[in-house]
Chains A and B, each alone.
Chain A
Amino acid sequence: MMGEKSVRRLAAAGAVLGLLLMLAGALLIKLSSLSALPDHALLRGVLAGRKVILILGAALTGASVYAGNIAVQGRRRLSGFFPYLLILPAMIFLVLFVLYPILNVIYMSFFKGSVLNPTKSFVGLKNYMALANKSAFIISVRNTFFYAVFFVSLVVLFALLMAVWLFDDRKLNKFAQTAIFTPHLIATVSCAFIWRWIMDFNDYGLLNTVLGIFGVAPVPWLESSKTAMWAIIIMNVWKNIGYYALILIAAMKSIPAEIYEAAILDNASRTKRFFRITLPMISPQLFVTLILLTIGSFNVFDSVNAMTQGGPGSSTEVIARFIYLFAFGNANSLGQGCAAAVFLMSIQLVLTAAYFRLLARRVHYQ
Chain B
Amino acid sequence: MAGIEFRNICKAFGLVKVIENLNLTIEDGKFTVLVGPSGCGKTTLLRIIAGIGPATSGECLMDGKDITDLEPARRGIAMVFQNYALYPTMNVRENIVFGLKNIGMPREKRDALVREYSGIVDLLDQLHKSPSQLSGGQRQRVALARAMVKTPKVFLMDEPLSNLDAKLRVQMRGELIELQKRLGATFVYVTHDQVEAMSMADTIVLMNKGRIQQKGSPEEIYDDPNNVFTAQFIGTPPMNLLEMENGCRLGYRPEAIALMRVSPGAGYCPAGEIVTREMLGAETHYKVRMAQGDVMVKSLDKGFAAGERVHVCVPLERMFFFDAQGDRLRPGQREYDACRRLMGGA
Contact = CB atoms under 8 A, between A and B. Distances in A.
A263 B50 contact: no
A83 interface: no
Given A267-B102, A267-B103, A268-B98, A262 B87 contact: yes
A364 B132 CA distance: 11
Contacts of B89: 276-277, 280-281, 364
B87 A277 contact: yes
B238 interface: no
Interface residues of B, number: 23
Interface in A343-366: 364, 366
Interface in A103-123: none
**Interface residues of chain A: helix, strand, loop or mixed (majority):** helix
Interface string B28-62: 00000000000000000000001010000000000
B99 interface: yes
A198 B102 CA distance: 48
A258 interface: yes
A74 interface: no
A213 interface: no
A253 interface: no
A38 interface: no
A174 interface: no
A272 B52 CA distance: 17
B302 to A, nearest CB: 46
A83 B315 CA distance: 76
Contacts, number: 62
Contact of A261 (B85, B86, B99): B85
Interface string A255-284: 010110111111111001000110011000
B77 A276 contact: no
B329 to A, nearest CB: 44
B99 A258 contact: no
Nearest to A261: B52
Contact of B83 (A256, A263, A276): A256
Contacts of B103: 267
Interface string B90-125: 100000001100110000000000000000000000
B155 to A, nearest CB: 12
Nearest to B143: A262
B88 A281 contact: yes
Contact of A266 (B81, B83, B98, B132): B98
A280 to B, nearest CB: 4
B52 A267 contact: no
A65 to B, nearest CB: 39
A366 B87 contact: no
Nearest to B152: A265
A265 B132 contact: no
Q: Which of A256, A259, A261, A266 has the most CB of B within 10 A?
A: A266
A263 B88 contact: no
Interface string A224-251: 0000000000000000000000000000
B79 interface: yes
A267 B81 CA distance: 16
B72 interface: yes
A242 to B, nearest CB: 27
B198 interface: no
Contacts of B52: 261, 264-265
B9 to A, nearest CB: 19
Contacts of A261: 50, 52, 79, 81, 85
Contacts of B99: 265-268
Contact of A265 (B77, B82, B87, B90): B77
Contact of A258 (B83, B102, B146): B83
A265 B103 CA distance: 11
B78 interface: yes
B24 interface: no
B324 interface: no
Interface in B107-151: 132, 146, 150
A265 B79 contact: yes
A41 to B, nearest CB: 72
10 nearest CB pairs, A to B: A266-B99, A258-B85, A280-B89, A267-B73, A267-B102, A262-B85, A261-B52, A364-B89, A258-B81, A259-B85
Given A262-B85, A276-B87, 8 more contacts: A256-B83, A259-B86, A263-B87, A264-B73, A267-B99, A268-B102, A269-B102, A364-B88
21 contacts: A256-B83, A258-B81, A259-B87, A261-B50, A262-B79, A262-B86, A262-B146, A263-B87, A265-B52, A265-B77, A265-B78, A265-B79, A266-B73, A266-B99, A266-B146, A267-B102, A267-B103, A268-B102, A272-B102, A281-B88, A364-B88
Interface of A: 256, 258-259, 261-269, 272, 276-277, 280-281, 364, 366
